[in-house]
């Protein structure tokens, strides 16, 4: 319940808390990052690989052609036909000074990831001030939000992975902190308020990180149009509300516009058209399609039952696998409390962005989201659930305190529970470091063993088709092509389209591959397995276990 007293931290307290949270979060992330020697998942490797090429003088190019729906289909391959460049540009900055190792590539993600708890603390402080919480409860709520964000599993994980996740989360959170301040004092409707320009820059930068920045822009436009009022509470005139929307839009376009021009010149489309085409996927493997790309007719042909099931699967993936399981029990408590946060103005922008992102990816991209679409845009949602969780626990312990007649504040119990549970579940991150090490060992062993048998994976070997093309390209520097989940004849056609393609590398089950090569119904005469032999090092032999290499050749 709102009160007349509004706690607000002093400038000294605010900067001191931000600095302490940043330092603590950075130490946590550095400790975890040391256990991750290889860029996993593949999109992380993509950003790092393109940054390395940029620093080495090859421009924004990729050594992996992993999606065939956007021409030109040739090497050197222009980068970012689907994803966006801001993470790579940030990675390239320290690489220019310290070299192109993966540890250097992690630096921007670590710094931005450590900033998230500080921004989360500021959001918690804004919420506490709006609700008029007593000073002790207010400080506890805000600090509990920041400390929980510093140690919660999904936020720590993606702070060590230099991809779009943490960068996008920080930009969205920054914008969602600025929006309520603009709506409380919308003087920019009359003069060019620098804060409006700042909001536009944040939206433009977010658009250079992820396509979901569109939902941030829509959230601001709707809030500005329907809720903006002057200090007396009178709704702004239509022209004033329009200026609130147009000024940030122009600033965002100035930031994002040059990238649209680049995409138009390189790909023939200023917008990420292939990202929109992912809505027509009927399988996650459709992003690698060669002969059978997604189409509307193919999409509708699966039938209404399958279309509904896709959305059920997307919903359960986004809710459980992305939000609730990695953040348990914080995410669950926060979700249960979420309906009671709708009236909090400080949370309204973040709530609206979160709902738009969740439901758009669930309903329009139900298949693509199971391969990471919502996962990499969910950072702001995790912050929202942390705030909602601590609000719920604060209210619970306040009621218990009143019921039991306690004279001392016990709000610290809620923050203690969330921080302790976040630390407990974050211990499982040790397993992620082991998985990253396994991937690194696999590709290092493959590269060494192919050289040992006289078939080195170098540029002379020509493009290589692989089930993990980005990882292979990152490790070896060779041009790689994605393996489509299509019949062997389609893979032969793919190889023929890229002269010099001799090898197919399969490291894991990839749809129907490699089982299709044992099918009596498939023509596999063009695939000849290469005898890799047994590396003398037992650890290398173990790393190669399950990896198979085939030579592609249909001649006599």
Q: Where are the domains of the chain?
A: 11-35+80-427, 432-552
Contact at 8 Å (CB) between 504 and 492?
Answer: no
Contact at 8 Å (CB) between 193 and 182?
Answer: yes
Predicted TM-score of the model (pTM): 0.93
C-alpha 98/C-alpha 95 separation (Å) is 5
C-alpha 65/C-alpha 332 separation (Å) is 39
pLDDT value at residue 469: 96
For the beta carbon of residue 342, count every other beta carbon within 10 angstroms.
Answer: 11
Instruction: List, for residues 436-447, the tens digit of each pLDDT value.
Output: 999 999 999 999
Q: Residues near 143 by Cβ (< 8 Å), separated by ≥ 6?
A: 17, 121, 124, 415
pLDDT value at residue 5: 47
- Please provide the average confidence, as pLDDT, over all residues in the chain: 90
Per DSSP, the three-state class of 64 is: strand
Instruction: List, for residues 84-132, the tens digit of each pLDDT value.
Output: 999 999 999 999 999 999 999 999 999 999 999 999 999 999 999 999 9
Instruction: List, for residues 248-304, the tens digit of each pLDDT value.
Output: 999 999 999 999 999 999 998 888 767 778 899 999 899 999 999 999 999 999 999
Instruction: List, for residues 48-60, the tens digit of each pLDDT value.
Output: 999 999 999 999 9
For the beta carbon of residue 431, count every other beta carbon within 10 angstroms.
Answer: 10
pLDDT value at residue 414: 57
Q: Please give the C-alpha separations between residue 540 and each of 40, 346, 535, 544, in angstroms, as whole numbers.
A: 19, 54, 6, 6
Per DSSP, the three-state class of 212 is: coil
Question: What is the helix (H) or strand (E) element at residue 517, kind and residue range?
Answer: none
Contact at 8 Å (CB) between 78 and 60?
Answer: yes
Sign of CA dihedral 444, 448, 453, 456: positive
**Low-confidence stretches of the chain (pLDDT beneath 50):** 1-5
Q: What is the DSSP string of 472-507?
A: HHHHH---EEE--SS-HHHHHHHHHHSTT--EEEE-
């Amino acid at each position: 319940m709102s009160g007349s007293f509004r706690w607000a931290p002093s400038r000294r307290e605010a900067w001191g808390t931000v600095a302490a949270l940043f330092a603590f979060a950075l130490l946590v992330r550095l400790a975890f990052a040391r256990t991750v020697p290889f860029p996993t998942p593949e999109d992380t490797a993509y950003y790092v690989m393109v940054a390395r090429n940029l620093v080495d003088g090859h421009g924004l190019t990729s050594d992996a052609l992993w999606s065939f729906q956007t021409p030109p289909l040739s090497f050197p391959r222009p980068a970012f036909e689907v994803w966006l460049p801001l993470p790579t540009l940030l990675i390239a900055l320290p690489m220019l000074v310290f070299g192109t190792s993966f540890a250097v590539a992690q630096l921007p993600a670590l710094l931005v990831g450590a900033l998230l708890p500080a921004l989360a603390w500021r959001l918690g402080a804004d919420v506490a001030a709006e609700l008029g919480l007593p000073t002790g409860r207010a400080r506890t709520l805000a600090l509990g939000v920041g400390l929980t964000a510093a140690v919660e599993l999904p936020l720590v994980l993606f702070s060590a992975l230099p991809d779009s996740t943490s960068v996008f989360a920080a930009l969205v959170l920054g914008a969602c902190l600025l929006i309520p301040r603009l709506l409380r004092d919308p003087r920019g409707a009359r003069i060019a308020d620098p804060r409006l320009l700042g909001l536009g820059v944040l939206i433009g930068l977010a658009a250079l990180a992820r396509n979901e920045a569109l939902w941030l822009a829509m959230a601001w436009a709707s809030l500005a149009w329907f809720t903006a009022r002057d200090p007396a509470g009178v709704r702004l005139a239509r022209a004033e509300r329009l200026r609130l929307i147009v000024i940030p839009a122009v600033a965002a376009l100035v930031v994002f516009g040059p990238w649209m021009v680049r995409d138009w010149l390189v790909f023939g489309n200023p917008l990420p058209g292939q990202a929109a085409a992912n809505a027509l996927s009927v399988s996650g493997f459709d992003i690698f399609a060669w002969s059978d790309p997604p189409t509307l007719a193919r999409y509708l042909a699966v039938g209404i039952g399958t279309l509904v099931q896709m959305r059920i699967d997307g919903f359960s993936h986004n809710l459980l696998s992305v939000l609730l399981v990695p953040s348990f029990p914080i995410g669950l408590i926060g979700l249960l409390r979420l309906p009671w946060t709708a009236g909090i103005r400080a949370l309204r922008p973040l709530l609206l962005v979160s709902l738009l992102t969740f439901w758009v990816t669930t309903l329009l991209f139900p298949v693509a989201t199971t391969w990471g679409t919502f996962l990499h845009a969910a950072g702001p949602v995790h912050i929202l659930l942390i705030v909602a969780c601590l609000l719920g626990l604060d209210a619970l312990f306040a009621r218990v305190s009143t019921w039991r007649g306690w004279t001392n504040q016990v709000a610290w119990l809620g923050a203690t529970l969330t921080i302790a549970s976040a630390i407990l579940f974050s211990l499982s991150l040790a397993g992620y470091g082991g998985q990253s090490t396994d991937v690194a060992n696999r590709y290092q062993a493959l590269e060494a063993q192919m050289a040992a048998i006289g078939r080195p994976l170098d540029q002379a070997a020509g493009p290589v088709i692989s089930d993990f093309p980005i990882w292979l390209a990152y490790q070896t520097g060779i041009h790689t092509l994605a393996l489509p989940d299509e019949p062997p004849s389609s893979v032969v056609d793919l190889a023929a389209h890229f002269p010099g393609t001799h090898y197919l590398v399969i490291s894991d089950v990839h749809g129907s591959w490699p089982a299709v090569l044992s099918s009596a119904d498939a023509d596999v005469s063009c695939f000849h397995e290469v005898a890799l032999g047994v590396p003398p090092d037992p650890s290398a032999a173990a790393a190669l276990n399950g990896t198979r290499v085939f030579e592609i050749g249909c001649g006599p």
